[in-house]
Structures are given as C-alpha cells and as structure tokens.
Structure 1
Amino acid sequence: MSWFKTSITGEDPEPYVEPEDAPKVRDPSIPNRMVTDKAANKPFLSYKTYREKQKQLHEKWLERQKIRKEKIARGEEVGPEERDPTEPEEVGLVGLLKFIVCVIALFAVTGKLFAGSYTWNYESKLEHLKTFIPTDQRYFSERTLATYDGSLSGKPIYLAIDGDVYDVTKGKAYQPGGSYHYFTGIDAARAFGTGCIQARTHLTHDLRGLTQDEIKTLEHWKDFYANHKDYKKVGRVAHKPIDPSSPIPEHCKDRKDDKSEKGNKKGDNVKKEERPTTKETVHEEL
C-alpha cells in the first residue's frame, strides 16, 4: 500500500531492492549479466532465448549455403536448395482455404452438439440471405409489365401468374392477334383458376373467393409455366394491395350453359378454343 501512502503525502516511493537470495539466470542478450528469475522477467527472457536460437540457426544455414555455392562452382552435384529455417512460413491461398474449411467444420460440429443443428438453427436466416444473391430476374411494377404485351417492337412478351413473370415470346398464341394474347402484360391468375376468360374482371391477380378445385387448377397452370421448356421465369410482379372491402369478381356462367348459349348470343365472338378450360387442348396451343 506504499503507493497509496505516497499519493497522499507526495513523498517519493522507496526504491525496490531485490533480495540477495532471489534466484537469478543469465541474460541472453548481455554476456556476464544476471537477472532475477521472476515472473515479470520470464516473457522477456523467453523471447531473448528464442531470438538467440534463431540467430544460431540462421548462421548455420548461411554456412551451409556457402558450402553449397562452393560445390556448385566446382561443378559438384548438390541437392535441392535448403529453405532458411528462420524465415517465417507464408500461409498462402491453400493454407487460408484449409483454415476456413476447418473453422466452418468446427462451427458445424459444435452447433450439432450444443444446438442440435449444424447451422445453429439459422436455417431461416440463411434462406433470407439468398435474396441478396444476384440473379437474372427482376421485379416489375404492373405498369412496367404492361409494356411487355407485344405491342412494342423488339420487346419480349411476358405474362404473369400469381406474381411470377414468364417470357412467353416463343408461344405463337401470345403474339398480337393470337388466341391467348389477352394474358400478356398482366397477371391473370384468377382467370387461370376459374376459366372465366370472357369475364374481363377475372383477368386479375385477385384470388379471393376461389374454390379448392379452382385453386388446384391455378396450381396446375403455375406448374405448366414453371416446367415449360420454352418459357423462362424472368422475375416477379409487385402488385398493389387489394382493398378487402372491394367486391369479389362474380363467377362466369357454367360452361355447359355458356356453350349452349354461345351461338344464340349476338356479338359473342369468343371462340371455344380461346378458353383455357380443357388442359390437354390448351397445352397444345400454349
């Protein structure tokens, strides 16, 4: 507590005097000098000893290099050049990759032991990181998607179904004047589910009120476009929120009634093959 006393009185502290019986060792940096073998000096002494050994190893290596050069000058055969044992070894790219792999493996094993999961139950967060991986897909606004309906020369033809946008330029039925051109530039997911193509109110992404059978039909069409060899997914469309208080589009008439009345209605120019209600028939044209 002498430091506390000197801070109060302002007096100089008493000089430290090492006990005469304190164990001492040789100072590796200064010949014929002995220093106290106490804990405070051990790091210094260990480093000095290490540096002395390194110096000796380097000098021996230089001597071997000198002998090797002399042999080469005399035309004698020599082995491969020896690396300086005191030179720090560079990690390199391979070593760095090995270190990273070891760290990942250790992380996974400890996660399995302590959390029961190799990813420490971070699956959901890892899935979220996938959204930051660059892709060739993009987000479309409804206004931007509408410009890909084939009316502008040089632009591809897109359609959307339940938010997913596909390039259907190779499909003849989607070209201007084609039997399915009214699907282009919009998300007509409801019409794909209900088959109400003649009802323009069904050419929308609004899926409220659909029956289980209609949802299954929609899923069928989603699989059709997702697995089609000629149609490629190019992104997603960002829809405006649907007002829950807005009226749900009314269902069109039963197909049997619609078929019997089709010829009797004046001005009804919607062709039967233009309605994607029979999967096999429609697939042939799409």
Structure 2
Amino acid sequence: MSWFKTSVTGEEPQPYVEPESTPRVKDPSIPNRMVVDKAANQPFLAYKAYRNKQEKIHNEWLERQKIRQEKIARGEEVGPEEKDPTEPEEVGLKGLLKFFLYLVVFGALAGKLLTGSYTWNYESRMTQLKSFIPTDQRLFSESTLAKFDGSVPGKPIYLAIDGDVYDVTNGKAYQPGGSYHHFAGVDAARAYGTGCFKTHRTHDLRGLTEAELRGVEHWKEFYANHGQYKKVGGVSHRPINPASPIPEHCKPPK
C-alpha cells in the first residue's frame, strides 16, 4: 500500500505505469502517440473518431459544392443544391408538433395495451368526440319528459336535474329495474341532495341545507362532464307556489 508506505517513511509514491503488455491504440488527437485501450478512454476515442468521420464527409461535400459552382460559372446545367450532411438539424415548430403527436399516439397505444382503453379508462366529455358535435336541443314539458322513462322499448331514457335534460340510455342502472330508474323521466333534483329517492322526485329545492345544495351541484357537474351522457335539452317546470308546504325529509332529524 503506497499510501501506508508514504505515511511511515515520508517517501513520495512512485507514479503508476501501465504494464507494457497492456493493449494500446493510436491517439486520434495526437499523432504518433499510443494510449491505453481501456474502458475509461473509449468515449473520448469514439467521439474523436466520429469527429474525424464528420470532417471527412464535410470536406467531400465542400468539394462537390466547388465542382457545382464551377459548372454554374461555365453555364452548365446543375441539379438542386445539396445540403451540408454534417449540419445539425434544428428542431422547429414542425419538429415539436411531430414529437408531441408521437407522444400522444404512444400514450394511447400504451393505455390500450395496459388498461384496454386508449384514454387509460379516463371518461369525460373531453374524451368523447360526439361532445364537440353540435346537437339540436329541445325544451321538454314535464309530461313529455315522463314519456322517456324507459317503459317503451327502443325509446331513449332521459332524466333531468335542476332543469337540464340528459340522455342516460347507455346507463344500465337507469333501465327499468335498475337501481337509479327512479330518476328516469323526471327532474328529481331534490333527491340528489337529500337521498330521498322515492319521496323527493321533484325539482323543488326549497329548504335544502348548504350540504344538500352542494350535493345537487356535484351531480349536476357529474352529468355535465360525463363521457356517455349527452345533454339533449331542458325542461320547463310549472312555477312552485311559495305557500305550498316544503317536501318532508324521508329521514327527519331526531
């Protein structure tokens, strides 16, 4: 151990010298010099070899350009000007757009492979092309809306929440016998806030607490942003008599 010997005797350690048997190669930077062919030197050797190759290609291009200019000076016909093959490629707007396109396509294919969905099972109105196609929306009366409750086979199923009507035909839960069928054909906005699905099938929101009103807003956003349920119009309600009693809660406070 040279460091141990130095600490004991005070002598300077001898510099390390590679054995003569160590393989060596020509130093591409310094003529007539040999360097050890070891892993630490490989990146530098490879880069210098690359630079030499690029320089050779560039010089050949310059020679072709010189010949081309001489032909032009003599009035001879020449082909299109050749681009310098060693000139670095600049990534412009087109290159960036192409990169992002490849990124989106790769992400979609990966999602299809891993989750079975091109959108990684993310469903929203933004991922549905039909959401951006203008549709003719209509104004329903309460009696007309009631005809779209799923009782007629082949007819779409509509529900309304706080005046907005949505097509929920694709939802199995809204089919007859489904757990949410009580919402079909009616504006049951109050039930979304109170949870009284049987007794609060009404749009009357009087007397709801702040928490219950937030619940209604949550479900309004749910339908507005859902990928499968499309808004088809609105419903015209009869005015609520302010003197009429407020619907009683199905779970009155104790």
TM-score normalised per structure 1:
0.43
Computing the radius of gyration from Cα coordinates, the structure with the larger value is 1
- Asked which structure has the greater RCO (Cα within 8 Å, sep 6+), the reply is 2
